[in-house]
Amino acid sequence: MSMPEVPRPSGFVRDLAPYDAVSSLSAIDDLPDGVVPLKLDWNESAIPPSPKVIESITAYLGNSHHLNWYSDLGATRLRLALADYSGVGVDNILVTNGSDAALSLVCGSYLDPGDDVVVVWPTYGHFMVFARARGVEPRTAAGEDLFASPTDAVIKELRPDTKMVYFASPNNPTGVVIPPEEVSRMCESHPSTLFLVDEAYYEFSGISSVGLVGQFPNLVVTRTFSKCLGIAGLRVGYLMAGDEVMENLRKLHNPKSVNSLGQIGALAAIQDREFIDSYIEEVRRAGRWLEAALGSRGADARITNANFILVRVADPGLLVSALETEGVFVRDRSHMKGFAGYVRITLGTLEQMKDLIGRIDRLLEKHPALLQPYAG
């Protein structure tokens, strides 16, 4: 007897490779007692969020009628705070379930099968999944120097029918920032193309294109609370765009998709400017120190405009696996096209980076070639 056919997924999804969400959490759980993990693989904040986040959530949980009700639809209070933080009008901000949901929303609202989409390469991999789920295979734009501005490479790839361009600024994994004046040039010269700028690491560079949102109707800027603001586990992000784009995005946007604890935590986080500024300065200081410390040990280290540093070694697999034996978790990026040899290390506090170097020094006694530069 033949088995009945089961429901089939969309043709676009059937052969789609899922986002490679490699997690170190299980390995951290298995560490021996007394080993303090250094989780430096996902570019989260290396410290807990502002104490005001915990205070606000705790106070909320002490109230009656809270978790049994839906959250603030549209996150009104949070959008007001974000308007003050970003300088963008409150009606031109949407709060989403992490910035991934913002990227997915833009793709779902604007892309049709076969549309032409250009991405700066190398890039954040989850965007590729969102585009391919819409029946789109993005084309890549990469300059000869992956650590230089890719604007000219993008412009060479643009066609009259290009529907969307995606790039992160600062970029993950290169850390490259595309200056606002170059974003302006692209938006102005290609008005029928939607430019999607992912500013997940904006706070660390201090350079943003949000000032262009009111000027160009073909620009969307996304941001997250998962990096500098320290609440990755609460999943809060947001996007900013002009009136016409916002009208289109609201058609698919679920206004109750961001939970109450996320909204409350995000509001407290964004309002504690002193904590934000202090953490940014600490990460920058730690990055300068770590770059010098790695360099003095013969490593090819490159600091970025984001909260991570890159090390290019002859054997990235060895470096990653050896660090894990010391309770350190970093990200091997060497499999990405054009990025051979690179390992990405999230920056934390100066104290954490000194701890990291101490563990690396122990490993160098066993593996003298651990930091040997990539020869290509």
224 shares a domain with 87: yes
Same domain membership, residue 313 and residue 264: no
Give a yes or no: residue 120 inside a domain. Answer: yes
> Given this model, what pLDDT does residue 184 score?
98
Beta bridge partners of 312: 300, 342
d(CA 338, CA 123): 11
Place of tokens 């350190």: 328
Same domain for 210 and 122, yes or no, is yes
Q: Is residue 78 part of a domain?
A: yes
> Are 142 and 281 found together in one domain?
no
pLDDT value, residue 31:
85
Distance between CA atoms of residues 254 and 336, nearest Å: 34
Asked whether residue 5 is assigned to any structural domain, the reply reads: no
Residue 372 lies in a domain: no
Report pLDDT for 310. Answer: 98
Assess contact for 352 and 327: CB atoms under 8 A. Answer: no
**Would residue 183 count as lying in a domain?**
yes
For residue 32, the model assigns a pLDDT of: 87
Instruction: Mark whether 28 and 102 lie in a shared domain.
Output: no
Q: Based on the domain organization, do 228 and 82 belong to the same domain? A: yes
> 26 burial class (0-12, 13-18, 19+ CB within 10 angstroms)?
exposed
The predicted pLDDT at position 66 comes to 78
The number of beta carbons lying within 10 Å of the beta carbon of residue 331 is: 21
4 in any annotated domain: no
The reply to whether 284 and 247 lie within a common domain is: no
C-alpha dist (Å) from residue 110 to 115, 134, 160, 195: 9, 9, 16, 11
- CATH number for the domain harbouring residue 349: 3.90.1150.10
Do 114 and 92 touch, CB atoms closer than 8 A?
Answer: no
Which of 227, 253, 271 is the last residue in one of the domains? 271
- The answer to whether the CB of 73 falls within 8 A of the CB of 266 is no
pLDDT of residue 9: 77
Mean per-residue pLDDT pooled into runs of 10, the chain (376 residues): 72 75 80 90 96 96 85 95 98 97 98 97 93 96 94 96 98 97 97 98 98 97 98 97 97 94 98 98 98 98 98 98 96 94 98 98 97 93
Quote the DSSP letter at residue 102: H
323 close to 370: Cβ distance less than 8 angstroms: no
Q: Are 135 and 59 found together in one domain?
A: yes
| Chain centre distance of CA 15 | 25
User: How far is it, in rounded angstroms, from Cα 57 to Cα 260?
Assistant: 9
Establish if 2 belongs to a structural domain: no
Among 239, 255, 271, identify where a domain stops. 271
β-pairing, 219-224 vs 194-198, is parallel
Tell me: do 192 and 238 sit in the same domain. yes
Both 181 and 287 in a single domain?
no
Quick check: is 375 in a domain? Answer: no
What is the CATH number for 182? Answer: 3.40.640.10
pLDDT of res. 3: 65
Residue labelled with tokens 């390469």: 121
Question: What's the domain count of the chain?
Answer: 2
End residue of a domain, out of 250, 271, 292: 271
Do both 322 and 187 map to the same domain?
A: no
Contacts of 2 (CB under 8 A, 6+ apart): none
Measure CA 374 to chain center: 26
Inter-axis angle of helices 125-132 and 98-110, to 10 degrees? 30
Domain that holds residue 216: 51-271
Q: Which tokens is 195 given?
A: 């430019």
169 and 207 in a single domain? The answer is: yes
Kindly report the backbone phi and psi dihedral angles of residue 116, in degrees, each rounded to the nearest multiple of 5, phi listed first. -90, 120
pLDDT in the model for residue 18: 75
